[in-house]
Amino acid sequence: MREDTGYRHLQVSPVAGALGAEVQGVDLTRRLAPDVVGEIRQALLAYLVIFFHGQRLGPAELLAFAERFGQPTEYPHMKGLPGHPHVIAVTKLEHERVNFGGVWHSDTTYLECPPLGSLLYAVEVPPYGGDTLFANQYLAYEALSEGLKKTLDGLVGVNTSAKAEISRTREDRLREAGAELKVLVGTHPVVRTHPETGRRALYVNAAHTTHFQCWTVEESQPLLNYLFAHQVRPEFTCRFRWQPGSLVFWDNRCAQHNPVNDYHGFRRVMHRVTLAGDLPR
């Protein structure tokens, strides 16, 4: 694995041509120096998703690390762990067939201010399967024709939490707990500008985007279907294989992800922290 030599305190090794890098040389349970935090942020902005292995993070340690990069926020409709409301358990049990968020998506784009990013820590993983795919939405936008870029410029996507087929496992578990499910709707530019890098990225996704504002669903569907397929072309992606103690930190503003649902009969338990974001522009 080739190392990116632009770091003084970390070993950062890209895992694919499109996005993703493994970060070594840091114990995330320790109090990190500002220079180390700065280099981790640098790696996130450069590679969109970064991977750490061999970490030993309880909920408190995971939250403390996340707080170095933003403001943790509660996940819609879901309760956090006891004593740690900003840390949620993402679990698929042995008998379940549908996994949490099992489709290509950007997180919770049905919110007015979707998250900056998310951190996911592996507590228990299946003996095989359960990988997560990631896709670079800068590259997806840049690969479009100039004509399609002009068509998309100024379009607004309507995003909803009501695509029930996307999140049946989550909704079933919420209903069992007696939670009230509210439909949330957010509208965002189809092409957003990253507030830190200034790069433009496609910002629609199959899990939540239903149509373009001022267009009907029927009018929107052909173009959205084209974009959904284009966004996840193999050359825009990388694949991550989890181990117990792995931590992944992704930038929700320019990357999509898809947890692969290929481990039926096994348990998978992850702890997740979501960082508050800004209004997409």
What are the φ and ψ backbone dihedral angles of 26, each rounded to 5 degrees?
-145, 135
Tell me which of 86, 107, 188, 251 is the catalytic residue: 107
DSSP code for 234: G
Cα three-residue angle 44-63-111, rounded to 5 degrees: 70
Cα separation, 37 vs 43, whole angstroms: 10
Cα separation, 263 vs 128, whole angstroms: 7
Q: Is 107 a catalytic residue?
A: yes
Q: Is 41 a catalytic residue?
A: no
What are the φ and ψ backbone dihedral angles of 72, each rounded to 5 degrees?
-60, 145
CB atoms within 10 A of CB 173: 16
What are the φ and ψ backbone dihedral angles of 158, each rounded to 5 degrees?
-100, 125
Closest CA to 107 of 75, 137, 135: 75
Cα separation, 74 vs 68, whole angstroms: 17
Only one residue has tokens 């309760």, namely 79
CB atoms within 10 A of CB 6: 11
Tell me which of 194, 200, 268, 272 is the catalytic residue: 272
Tell me which of 86, 194, 200, 257 is the catalytic residue: 257
Task: Answer yes or no: are the C-beta atoms of 208 and 156 closer than 8 Å.
Answer: no
Task: Answer yes or no: are the C-beta atoms of 170 and 100 closer than 8 Å.
Answer: yes
Cα three-residue angle 250-58-19, rounded to 5 degrees: 15
What are the φ and ψ backbone dihedral angles of 111, each rounded to 5 degrees?
-90, 155
Which ranges of 232-271 does DSSP label H, i.e. alpha helix?
A: none
Tell me which of 86, 105, 170, 268 is the catalytic residue: 105
Q: Is 257 a catalytic residue?
A: yes
Residues recognised as catalytic: 105, 107, 257, 272
